[in-house]
């Protein structure tokens, strides 16, 4: 129970990365370039999907949603990180910290479930190609996307409420580059064991369940692919799955390590690297993975820009 003279923090200090002052300009430049490329890559994919009617398919609908989530996900954290690298002031108000935590979790959980939905789309496309357009109707795709968003809103609300119900009476230095739940909980002036249990249970529901669903679906997909007689057909089917498997691994595995381990076993420097990977690096690589060898995206780009002849 808190005493009558107990004071609570009104702002936090984000310590960010432990760096030599000489390396800060280099780090700032690197993150700025990466963030601009994230905006360019994800924004371009979303625009191409909207403008080219041949990309108005369930698969590209979900890729477009993923691009918007990646844009929002990184914009929640990276601009503030850049501002703190460029200045001596590294504070964030209590209310802004809560808002950042909640928005980050909403987008992250939504993306986690979106990967599971995208695996269902691949299953129908490969295992039931003749019924693909009938099964994956625009209405069903919209319902699936809304389901992912509702999962994100609900889980993020529970995460945030349980984290911010605790008293924070000092110190107020968060050893992270943004207000992420595990880093903030270390400053609580109370026992966080209940939060560890809640985080594990929620982590199971928003990370392990989608991953398990993806695993089961891909076992069925690979079983179906192996039955294809044509080697070229098998290769084409495998290639359509490779991009999705890659982005799922980059995002979900680091997030699972971050949110499902006990707070007492957390290492601030390791946590920052993990967060950097699934928050920034995955959003940077997703457009590359989905467009580098994708003829449909290249064709749409050439059509919209009028630059040359579309690839056959």
Which segment of 4-13, 127-136, 191-200, 215-224 scores lowest on mean pLDDT? 4-13
9-44 burial: b if 16+ Cβ within 10 Å, else e: beebbbbbbeeeeeeeeebbeebeebbeebbebbeb
Percent of the chain residues past pLDDT 70, beyond the cut: 92
- CA 65/CA 49 separation, integer angstroms: 10
Give pLDDT, residue 120: 94
Cis peptide before 171 (omega within 30 of 0): yes
What is the reported pTM?
Answer: 0.88
Give pLDDT, residue 292: 63
pLDDT digits (tens, 9 = 90+) for 229-274: 777 777 777 777 887 888 888 888 887 777 776 654 557 777 788 8
Per-residue pLDDT, averaged over 145-156, amounts to 94
Q: Are 213 and 119 in contact (CB under 8 A)?
A: yes
Q: Is residue 306 left, alpha or beta, with left meaning phi > 0 and alpha meaning psi from -120 to 50?
A: left
Q: Are 169 and 9 in contact (CB under 8 A)?
A: yes
Give pLDDT, residue 242: 80
Percent of the chain residues past pLDDT 90, beyond the cut: 36
- CA 45/CA 31 separation, integer angstroms: 21
Work out the number of other CB atoms within 10 angstroms of the CB of residue 137. Answer: 11
Tell me which residue of 40, 30, 39 sits closest to 85, measured CA to CA.
30
Give pLDDT, residue 297: 81
CA dihedral 162, 165, 166, 169 (to 10 degrees): 140
Q: Are 181 and 105 in contact (CB under 8 A)?
A: yes
- CA 171/CA 166 separation, integer angstroms: 14
Tell me which residue of 15, 2, 19 sits closest to 183, measured CA to CA.
15
């Amino acid at each position: 129970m808190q005493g009558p003279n107990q004071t609570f923090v009104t702002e936090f200090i984000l310590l960010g990365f432990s760096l030599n002052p000489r390396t800060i300009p280099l780090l700032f430049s690197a993150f700025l370039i990466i963030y601009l490329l994230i905006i360019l890559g994800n924004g371009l994919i979303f625009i191409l999907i909207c403008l080219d009617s041949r990309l108005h398919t369930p698969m590209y609908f979900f890729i477009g949603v993923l691009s918007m989530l990646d844009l929002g996900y990184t914009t929640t954290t990276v601009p503030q990180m850049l501002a703190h690298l460029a200045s001596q002031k590294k504070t964030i108000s209590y209310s802004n910290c809560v808002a950042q935590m909640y928005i980050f979790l909403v987008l992250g959980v939504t993306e986690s479930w979106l990967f599971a939905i995208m695996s269902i789309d691949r299953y129908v496309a490969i295992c039931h190609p003749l019924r693909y357009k009938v099964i994956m109707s625009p209405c069903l795709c919209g319902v699936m996307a809304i389901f992912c968003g509702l999962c994100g809103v609900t889980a993020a609300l529970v995460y945030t409420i349980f984290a911010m119900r605790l008293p924070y009476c000092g110190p107020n230095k968060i050893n992270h580059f943004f207000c992420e739940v595990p880093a903030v909980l270390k400053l609580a002036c109370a026992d966080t064991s209940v939060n560890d249990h809640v985080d594990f249970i929620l982590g199971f529901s928003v990370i392990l369940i989608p991953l398990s669903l993806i695993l089961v679906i891909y076992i069925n997909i690979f079983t179906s692919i192996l039955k294809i007689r044509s080697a070229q057909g098998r290769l084409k089917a495998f290639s359509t799955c490779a991009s999705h498997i890659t982005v799922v691994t980059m995002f979900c595995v680091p997030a699972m390590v971050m949110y499902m381990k006990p707070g007492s076993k957390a290492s601030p420097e390791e946590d920052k690297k993990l967060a950097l990977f699934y928050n920034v690096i995955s959003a940077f690589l997703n457009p590359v993975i989905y467009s580098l060898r994708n003829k449909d995206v290249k064709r749409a780009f050439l059509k919209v820009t009028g630059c040359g002849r579309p690839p056959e």
